[in-house]
Structure 1
Amino acid sequence: MIPPIPFSTEILRFLDRHHFDRITPRAALIDMDGTLYDSMPSHTRAWYRLMTEAGVDCTPEEFYLYEGRTGASTINQLFLRAFGREATKEETEALYQRKTEYFRELPPVGPMPGALDMLTVLKETGIQRVLVTGSGQRSLIDRISADFPGMF
């Protein structure tokens, strides 16, 4: 049995407001980038290379702000700022394909320290693990079963 985790003030207020004594989570939504894999530095490098080649004035650090967005959303955000318009569907597909190629050229990213331990604890306590990601990086998605066997 895992010792109870202290609840934040907000959760305590929620419990009180709804007259609950406790909450019993049944599922955990687990993000891939930054939770299971330390992939953001590589995503940042690939995005920066792509968008500077496309003529967008940007910094490598700003791509951390777009973490969690879809590729199309990131491209449109930057196109609106740089060119005053959204990218066409064709531009978006071509640019995201190139970003994926740039990402694959970089050294493979490893699992985040403690990620397997976290998933193991969740599994042992009967909490369903649900992988959620906006990433289209098949190179990472295909590794989930090998790096985290039986967890999803």
Structure 2
Amino acid sequence: MTATIKAGGRAFIFDMDGTIVDNMAFHTKSWLAFFERRGQAIDGDEFFRATAGRQGHEIMRTYLGEHLTKEDTALLDAEKEELYRELYAPHLETVAGFEQFIAAAQEADVRLAVATAAPPANIVFTLDGLDLRRHFDAVVGAADVARGKPNPDVFLLAAERCGVPPEHCIVFEDAPLGVEAARRAGMRAVVLTTTLPAEAFAEFDNVILVARDFTELNIDALFASGAVATSPTEAE
């Protein structure tokens, strides 16, 4: 059921991979191994910048050919994601301060959502593996929208399900395509530098704060902010 949008509501919308968990290096490793099986050498840094936030089937068609059918990409996605889960399972944990931050947000009556390009199996792996799903008012993934980031679909649906207007939502992201998706959705963004440095996001006028992890964040300050800021430790 879609929630009724409340004028006074506020929401935090979290990307999952690279934001709730610091796992993008493992995703990159699994992609490199996946393409190596097919005789393709991929530059990891360049690949991340071009694809983080896009859905698996979009990436498959870009790198393996537009001729691939939906059934083809589904099988390839399953292979790649199994590789990723095998690699990351021993390291599964939240980014520093995340659980304390969302507990404080709930105390402040902020609605919480996850908006990710991840397939259902990876959402289960992460949110249920860490017993986090119970904290969220909405969880939106690749299976719920037709287009991945930088299209705004996943963030707009998360806001709708939370019952909060886009302008009262703050997105937490680690990738440029995700920040661009938030911009297109009319949402401010907080960047975590789990994967890329602050300068990788210099072009985005919707970024209100750049931080290393959730221990550096203050809820009231985030909602009051309309300007780009960098946390003191990140500026050092």
Q: Does the CA contact (< 8 Å) of 2:34 and 2:80 recur in 1?
A: yes
For residues 39-64 of structure 1, what are the alpha-carbon distances to aligned partners after superposition, in whole Å with 9 as ceiling and x for unaligned?
11111111111122123331222332
**Hey, what's the Cα distance between the residues in 1 that align with 2:101 and 2:133?**
13
**Hey, what's the Cα distance between the residues in 1 that align with 2:133 and 2:70?**
36
Aligned partner of 2:79: which letter? R
Q: Which has the higher strand share?
A: 2
- How many percent identity over aligned positions? 27
* Residue in 2 that maps onto 1:143: 129
Rg: which structure is higher? 1
- Between Structure 1 and Structure 2, how many residues are aligned? 124
For residues 18-44 of structure 1, what are the alpha-carbon distances to aligned partners after superposition, in whole Å with 9 as ceiling and x for unaligned?
xxxxxx661111111111111111111
Report the 3-state secondary structure (helix = DSSP H, G, I; strand = E; otherwise coil) of the residue aligned with 1:116. helix
* Residue in 2 that maps onto 1:14: none
* Residue in 2 that maps onto 1:68: 53
Q: How far 1:151 sits from its partner (Å)? A: 1.7
Map 1:20-39; keep pairs closer than 5 Å: 26-39=10-23
TM-score by length of 1: 0.71
Report the 3-state secondary structure (helix = DSSP H, G, I; strand = E; otherwise coil) of the residue aligned with 2:14. strand
For the structure 1 residues 151 and 101, does the alpha-carbon distance in structure 2 shift closer, same or farther, using more than 3 Å as the test?
same
Choose which of 40, 56, 59 in structure 1 pairs with 2:40. Answer: 56
> CA RMSD of the aligned region, Å?
2.2
* Residue in 2 that maps onto 1:12: none
Of structures 1 and 2, the one with the larger relative CO (CA 8 A, separation 6+) is 1
Work out whether 1:106 is the aligned partner of 2:106: no
Q: Does the CA contact (< 8 Å) of 1:56 and 1:79 recur in 2?
A: no
- Structure 2's unaligned 5+ residue stretches are 1-7, 137-236
Q: How far 1:71 sits from its partner (Å)? A: 0.7
**Hey, what's the Cα distance between the residues in 2 that align with 1:53 and 1:149?**
34
- Structure 1's unaligned 5+ residue stretches are 1-23
